[in-house]
Structure 1
Amino acid sequence: MLRPAVLSLLLSLASCAVILENGMPILWAQTAGQVTDLPTQNGVVTPDPWNFLHRMSLYRLMIAVTDPFMGSMGTNATDSPIWGLPLQLGWMLTSGRLADPTGATTCGLATGDTKCISPQSWWGCVNYFASALPFMSAAEQGLMGAGVQVQMQAPEGVTDYCTTYASCAVAYPDVIAKWDAFFQGLKATAESPLPENEKKDSLLGLYWEAQMASSYGSSACIARQNHYSSVEVAFSKNWENSAEYVSAAHFQSNLENSAMFIAPLPSRILQVGDTAPNIADLSEAENHTLYIFSWINSINNLLAGSLVRMWKGAMCSVTTREKGREMLGQLLLNPGFATSTFLSIISEMTRGC
């Protein structure tokens, strides 16, 4: 369950996109609790990743089968880093980002199937690499049960999504290899004699390597950005770039931490004329998040990419990564935190490496 302080923060973000329902990801109660709840055909599990409940079910099942190895993450049932993914998917749904951006169908619209994920959505495409591919990897590693085979359903007329472990391993070998390494490393890390904080850091390292591989693999979705405004495209790039900082710090994307970072993301698709921090129909928190995302990207561009390199260089130990996670929280969630402080602390941390 979420701490009162976190609930208070989320209540203050009332105008932001809805990501929680009774303290859990939205529509969680309607998802599959076991693999046998998913459709099957000729003995093969055949989820429909273009149905929101099916895609959310992939996360619920992955969390369930990996939780026994997550002891180093903490004592709460929601401490697994995988919890960040269903919250992110929920934000994409309620902010309208999973709907058909072409206007050719009513997929994802209030006037159509609200649980439909459009294969033309850039956001839905990017998320496919962080949902369908890791699920197929987990099944291949035996976590879903001995001999369980999976084939994702494909949208009619759409052929550019891999749908089996074998086809994804050929099309996106690094994505599959990194998720395989994460799932294989779960047991080894859990049984390691290392101190708990080092086991936690090691496991988060494997997790974020897999996450970043999914992010890089999803460059295959880039043509779908043509369906959005230049402002939304700029935000989407800043959103992707923010993962470079989060991953390097081995952010523990459990339910509580993720809720704080995802709730202030923009609750609707951005349009031409939207300029943070002065977008009238978005909350102060949403405006602040958009402004910080843009600021970080602008500074990195001005420094010819060296801000990301400095940050990654500073995240050189368990200790500095702990400091990095705290600083990211201050930067994104505390409007009073000076951006100049961020740069000076990075410089200082880099010298310590």
Structure 2
Amino acid sequence: MLRLLVLGLVLACAVSLSSSAVILENGAPILWAQTASQVTELPMHDGILLPDPWNYLHRMSLYRLMIAATDPFMGSMGTNATDSPLWGLPLQLGWMLTSGRLADPTGATTCGLEAEPLCISTQSWWACVNYFASVLPFLSAAQQGFMGAGAQVQMQVPAGVQDYCTTYADCKAKYPDAMSKWDAFFQGLKTTSESLLPDDVKKDTILGVYWDAQMASTYASAACNARQSHYSSVEVSFAQSWLNSAEYVAAARFQANMEKALLFLSPLPSRILQEGDSAPNIVGLTAEENHTLYIFSWMKTIDSLLGGTLLRLWKGAMCSVNTRQKGAQVLEQLLLNPSFATSTFLSIITEMTTSC
């Protein structure tokens, strides 16, 4: 009951006028303290782990367990306990919860609403896309021994829902590229961390295989596209821009630790967008949220007008550790600094490309 009251307060803050999205609770992702800290705390039957990814606490638990299991191999990321790039994922899930994006968009059920605040809807496009960035990597981590020797996992699924894979073998058969990339990440994490490479090279290498896996999950989540029909055209446009922005972040091998992830997630829209919402003048959203939506839209529009040239230039410019570090800084300026001119962004990309 207490956790439901806490969640109610968090959701109330999230939907208040002119308030940025609620991302943290007591310095951790939303309801982090209520999640499983040990694999043995997950449901189990006949020796098989049975997490319910349609319960927010269970899905968040997948992230907590993955972070704990991989932290021993993340020394090159920094000295802080929250330097792992995996921290961006639970923070993102928390934003989806408090902004209402995990709720049933069809209105046919109360899933995700006040009556069932921890319910994640199988009809939510956002929840579906996140499934590929939570369940798939967890199944891979378990397969690669990160959840204990011989751990077997099968995800629970609501009755009548058939279009989600639930086991490693099932996901591997349906989404072979994504699962192979996650396998490569978890395998590479061990070998790279144990190598004699300098820490900056280890870090860049680990981030490289991590973002390869993340983007493979993103591409596989095209299976969720039919669920976009439940949303306004404005929300769909934002969703597409959000996916597009991941291409830039991935190419820069952005270290999505807690500190950096917060910078990118805090100005995301704190509610689902409706018809008539037009950035940078959306009523009820902060100036920061409006700016971020405007920049997302600008990047997608420019790239479309240029036939994909902007993204190709960007990827081409991310050719070294130095340019990737500079690229991450440029993205921060573009999204977070309203005075940073979009023309400056274009000139910097051109300059970095010539150095490759």
TM-score scaled by length of structure 2: 0.95
Correspondence list, 1:314-353, <5 A: 314-353=317-356
Letter in structure 2 aligned against 1:323:
K
The CA deviation at 1:280 is: 1.4
Aligned residues: 340
* 1:20 matched to 2:35: no
The one-letter amino acid paired with 1:240 is L
Deviation, 1:41, is 1.1
Matches within 5 A, 1:195-234: 195-234=198-237
Matches within 5 A, 1:233-252: 233-252=236-255
Which structure 2 residues correspond to residues 174-185 of structure 1 after superposition, within 5 A? 174-185=177-188
Task: Tell me what 1:34 maps to.
Answer: 38
Amino acid of the structure 1 residue aligned with 2:343: S
> Residue by residue, what CA displacement relative to the aligned partner does 1:43-82 show, whole Å, maximum 9, x if unpaired?
1000000000000000000000000000000000000000
TM-score by length of 1: 0.96
Q: Which residue of 2 aligns with 1:296?
A: 299
Letter in 2 for 1:346: I
Counterpart of 1:95? 99
1:90 counterpart letter in structure 2: G
Counterpart for residue 59 of structure 2: 55
Unmatched tracts of structure 2, length 5 or more: 1-16
TM-aligned CA deviation for residue 194 of structure 1: 1.5
Q: Is the 8 A contact 2:18 2:285 kept in 1?
A: no
Quote the RMSD (CA, aligned, Å). Answer: 0.9
Which AA in structure 1 matches 2:145?
Answer: G
Q: Residues 21-170 of structure 1 correspond to what in structure 2 (within 5 A)?
A: 21-110=25-114, 112-170=115-173
The 2-side partners of 1:348 and 1:196 are apart by 27
Q: CA deviation at 1:14?
A: 7.6
Over the matched positions of the two proteins, sequence identity in percent amounts to 73
2:156 maps to a residue whose letter is Q
The runs of 4+ residues in structure 1 deviating greater than 6 Å are none
Q: CA deviation at 1:319?
A: 0.5
Any idea what the Cα deviations from partners look like across 1:95-120, whole Å, max 9, x if unmatched? 0000000011000012x200000000
Query: 1:192 deviation in Å?
Result: 1.6
Letter in 2 for 1:91: W
Separation of aligned partners in 1, 2:201 and 2:144: 24
**Ranges in structure 1 where 5+ consecutive residues have no aligned partner:** 1-12
Which residue type is aligned with residue 20 of structure 1? L
2:52 alignment partner AA:
D
**Residue identity opposite 1:274 in structure 2:** D
Q: Secondary structure at the match of 2:152?
A: coil
